Amino acid sequence: MICDKFKDECGVLGIYSTASKNLARRVAFGLISLQHRGQESAGIASYRDGKVYHYKEMGLVQDVFNNEILEGLKGHISVGHVRYSTTGESHVSNAQPLVIKYRGENIALAHNGNLINADKIRDKLEESGSIFQTSIDTEVIANLMAKNYSLGFKDAILKTVHEIKGAFALVIICEGKLIGVRDPNGLRPLCIGKLPDGGLVLTSESCALDVVGAELVRDVKNGEMVIIDENGMESILYDDTQPAAHCIFEYVYFARPDSVIDTVSVSSSRRWAGKLLAKEHPVEADIVIAVPDSGIDAAIGYAQESGIPYGIGLIKNKYIGRTFIQPDQETRELAVRLKLNVLKETVKGKRVVVIDDSIVRGTTSKKIVDALRKAGASEVHMRVSSSSVKYPCFFGIDTPNRQQLVSSFKSNDEVKEIIGADTLGYISVEGLLESVGKANCDMCTACFDGDYPMDVPEEVNKNMFD
Ligand code: SF4
């Protein structure tokens, strides 16, 4: 693993427009802006004359698609997906959108999230004769839809989303309509945009709306299904009984800073978190630097609040592929050095506050602290703009198991010793909630406090330092 972070899940995008000449090209552009949510595979499916045409392959969006492929994907509805595997192996057979044919109807499905009851449903379906061609939980959704299809597409989807449990933001092409569904807790984001030509867009993050030329209209509500066709958009609130539990890590790390999620600007929330971090963990120092990219806004906030100047102290190499990185210790160490380098003149002889968005295993933090000292920093104070991560995620984020989360079994003082910092401070969960303006707690904070919004499949014991 090149970087000691939680891994993004997936990104989805769907557009309905009868006016656009090449929707697939627009979707490809939008997918590039969602590339941070998944770099393993990319795919697009488009609807034309009653049929769905699709193409998907392993790799980055720019490497997967060319003009010829996009020409073949013309249509007035188009959905796309970028993937990082959370369930199912990293193989093209598991790439999305998933396209199935059922009773003459072509259905394309793109999913961001993770189902916690997928295995159970899969077993049941297989017992009753269903055949699966992939190992992803999205195929469970597709199979349930097919099983319920005699009810008509709308009720088939509604029955399906009542049977599945977990995190899901779905964009679907079915019967010449573009459909979006968000899980009842709203764990994963999904928003709606409008194109100048009247077309409508569904996507994981609003940064993709900016790229495809759409205005943000609103977020898909928790437990809402929207159906878009030539008549406009129909909204069905299929489940409003669950408490909101939007993933707070979207603001900390996953989402792009230029996105607005559930009405909150990601960049502003990160700056605010940095300010609160400075209030909660002040320190005498000469310079504040960030671990790029997601630590930058928080570092600016910390500098503004503390009055300590902000400087660029770590340079990130953005052009590192994943494929040639082997998971052995030597290569991992090389990879960290390749990914981040210290700007020596910024830190030499200085007391440095370094802001990172999270500490997961602690291995990268240790290397950063070591590198800063080697470059001449006289003191290194690590400040973290998330709370300490103690519990794994079951909702579409790839996290190590609990034993590998350093804060799960070490106190903050011990983590400080492990990473070699002079001091260490994390923002509190309350501070983090305040930074996204949700002090009333309609967020999922389970990876910090183990308070999952639904029963999770593993025994998760309370942390020994709680
Ligand atoms: S457990 Fe953490 S990463 Fe997973 S949905 Fe909740 S806040 Fe997000």
How far does the centroid of ligand 1 lie from the alpha carbon of residue 113, in Å?
11
Mean pLDDT of 276-302: 97
Residue 10 has pLDDT above 70, yes or no: yes
At residue 328, the pLDDT reads 64
Q: Look up the domain containing 298 and give its range.
A: 264-449
Residue 17 has pLDDT above 90, yes or no: yes
Active site residue 10: yes
Confidence class for position 88, pLDDT limits 50, 70, 90: low
DSSP H or E run through 33: helix 23-33
DSSP H or E run through 379: strand 379-384
- Its pTM stands at 0.93
Q: Same structural domain for residues 418 and 291?
A: yes
Q: Which of 248, 360, 427 to mutate to test the pocket of ligand 1 (most atoms within 8 A of CB)?
A: 248
Asked if residue 455 belongs to a domain, the reply is no
168 closest CA partner among 176, 160, 257: 160
| Residues 387, 432 contacting (CB under 8 angstroms) | yes
Contacts of 227 (CB under 8 A, 6+ apart): 154, 177, 178, 179, 233, 234, 236
Phi first, then psi: what are they for 110, rounded to 5°?
Answer: -125, 135
Q: Same structural domain for residues 232 and 380?
A: no
* pLDDT tens column, 327-362: 566 766 677 777 889 999 999 999 999 999 999 888
Asked if residue 252 belongs to a domain, the reply is no
- Torsion (CA) 185, 396, 14, 252 in degrees, nearest 10: 80
**Token pair recorded at residue 2:** 């090149």
How far does the centroid of ligand 1 lie from the alpha carbon of residue 227, in Å?
28
CATH of the domain at 140: 3.60.20.10
Q: Which of 10, 174, 247, 393 is labelled catalytic? A: 10
CB 443 near ligand 1, within 6 Å: no
CB 187 near ligand 1, within 6 Å: yes
At residue 134, the pLDDT reads 86
Q: Same structural domain for residues 321 and 359?
A: yes
Asked if residue 251 belongs to a domain, the reply is no
What are the beta bridge partners of residue 351?
379
| Residues 99, 44 contacting (CB under 8 angstroms) | no
Distances (CA, A) of 180 to 189, 223, 298, 391, 421: 11, 11, 33, 30, 46
Residue 220 or 317, more confident: 220
Residue 85 or 214, more confident: 214
Question: How is residue 346 annotated by DSSP?
Answer: H
Q: Same structural domain for residues 272 and 185?
A: no
Asked if residue 459 belongs to a domain, the reply is no
The Cα 403–Cα 464 span in angstroms is: 12
Q: Same structural domain for residues 286 and 195?
A: no
| Residues 238, 158 contacting (CB under 8 angstroms) | yes
How far does the centroid of ligand 1 lie from the alpha carbon of residue 5, in Å?
13
How far does the centroid of ligand 1 lie from the alpha carbon of residue 437, in Å?
17
The Cα 313–Cα 335 span in angstroms is: 18
CB 249 near ligand 1, within 6 Å: yes
The Cα 46–Cα 208 span in angstroms is: 18
Q: How does the average pLDDT of the chain come out, rounded?
A: 91
How far does the centroid of ligand 1 lie from the alpha carbon of residue 14, in Å?
24
Q: Same structural domain for residues 220 and 284?
A: no
Asked if residue 460 belongs to a domain, the reply is no
Q: Same structural domain for residues 66 and 207?
A: yes
Q: Which of 165, 242, 249, 441 to mutate to test the pocket of ligand 1 (most atoms within 8 A of CB)?
A: 249
The Cα 269–Cα 435 span in angstroms is: 5
Q: Which of 185, 397, 402 to mutate to test the pocket of ligand 1 (most atoms within 8 A of CB)?
A: 397
The Cα 81–Cα 202 span in angstroms is: 12
CB 116 near ligand 1, within 6 Å: no
Q: Which atom of ligand 1 is nearest to the CA of 247?
A: 8
First CA to last CA across the chain, in angstroms?
A: 29
| Residues 14, 173 contacting (CB under 8 angstroms) | yes
Pick from 237-246, 320-329, 340-349, 413-422: least confident = 320-329
Asked if residue 179 belongs to a domain, the reply is yes
At residue 325, the pLDDT reads 45
Phi first, then psi: what are they for 216, rounded to 5°?
Answer: -65, 125
Q: Which atom of ligand 1 is nearest to the CA of 391?
A: 1
* pLDDT tens column, 109-122: 999 999 999 999 99
Q: Which atom of ligand 1 is nearest to the CA of 448?
A: 2
Provide, rounded to the nearest whole percent, the portion of the chain with pLDDT above 90. 76
Mean pLDDT of 306-320: 91
At residue 332, the pLDDT reads 65
Half-sphere exposure of 433 (CA within 13 A, CB side): 15
Asked if residue 192 belongs to a domain, the reply is yes
1 closest CA partner among 234, 315, 334: 334
The Cα 11–Cα 191 span in angstroms is: 12
Q: How many helices (H) and strands (E) does the chain have?
A: 17, 23
- Torsion (CA) 136, 138, 139, 140 in degrees, nearest 10: 100
Residue with CA closest to ligand 1 atom 4? 393
Residue 464 has pLDDT above 50, yes or no: no
Confidence class for position 461, pLDDT limits 50, 70, 90: very low
DSSP H or E run through 344: helix 344-347
Q: Same structural domain for residues 87 and 216?
A: yes
- Packing angle of the helix pair 138-147, 118-127 (nearest 10 deg): 50
Task: Outline where 34-128 has alpha helix (H).
Answer: 61-64, 67-71, 118-127
The Cα 51–Cα 436 span in angstroms is: 43
Pick from 78-92, 97-111, 179-193, 221-235: least confident = 78-92
Phi first, then psi: what are they for 371, rounded to 5°?
Answer: -65, -40
Best-predicted range by mean pLDDT (17-21, 64-68, 357-361, 439-443)? 64-68
* pLDDT tens column, 128-149: 888 888 888 899 999 999 999 9
At residue 7, the pLDDT reads 67
Mean pLDDT of 311-340: 72
The Cα 396–Cα 12 span in angstroms is: 13
At residue 89, the pLDDT reads 67
142 closest CA partner among 184, 185, 111: 111
**Token pair recorded at residue 89:** 């192996």
Total count of domains within the chain: 2
How far does the centroid of ligand 1 lie from the alpha carbon of residue 1, in Å?
20
How far does the centroid of ligand 1 lie from the alpha carbon of residue 6, in Å?
10
Q: Same structural domain for residues 40 and 164?
A: yes
Sign of CA dihedral 378, 384, 387, 390: negative
At residue 133, the pLDDT reads 87
Mean pLDDT of 38-49: 94
At residue 323, the pLDDT reads 43
Pick from 81-85, 175-179, 184-188, 459-463: least confident = 459-463
Residue 443 or 103, more confident: 443
| Residues 132, 139 contacting (CB under 8 angstroms) | yes
Q: Same structural domain for residues 204 and 308?
A: no
Pick from 94-108, 162-176, 379-393, 398-412: least confident = 398-412
Residue 1 or 247, more confident: 247
Provide, rounded to the nearest whole percent, the portion of the chain with pLDDT above 70. 91
Q: Same structural domain for residues 185 and 285?
A: no
How far does the centroid of ligand 1 lie from the alpha carbon of residue 16, in Å?
31
CB 395 near ligand 1, within 6 Å: yes
Confidence class for position 294, pLDDT limits 50, 70, 90: confident
Asked if residue 276 belongs to a domain, the reply is yes
Mean pLDDT of 415-421: 96
Residue 3 has pLDDT above 70, yes or no: no
Mean pLDDT of 220-226: 98
Q: Which atom of ligand 1 is nearest to the CA of 167?
A: 5
The Cα 238–Cα 219 span in angstroms is: 16
Mean pLDDT of 292-313: 96
At residue 338, the pLDDT reads 79
Residue 466 has pLDDT above 50, yes or no: no
Confidence class for position 465, pLDDT limits 50, 70, 90: very low
CATH of the domain at 337: 3.40.50.2020
CB 397 near ligand 1, within 6 Å: yes
* pLDDT tens column, 73-84: 999 999 999 998
CB 393 near ligand 1, within 6 Å: yes
Whether the upstream peptide bond of residue 97 has omega within 30° of 0, thus cis, is yes
Q: Same structural domain for residues 232 and 324?
A: no
CB 61 near ligand 1, within 6 Å: no
CB 444 near ligand 1, within 6 Å: yes
What are the beta bridge partners of residue 354?
289, 382
Strands (E), 85-211: 98-102, 105-115, 166-174, 177-182, 191-194, 200-203
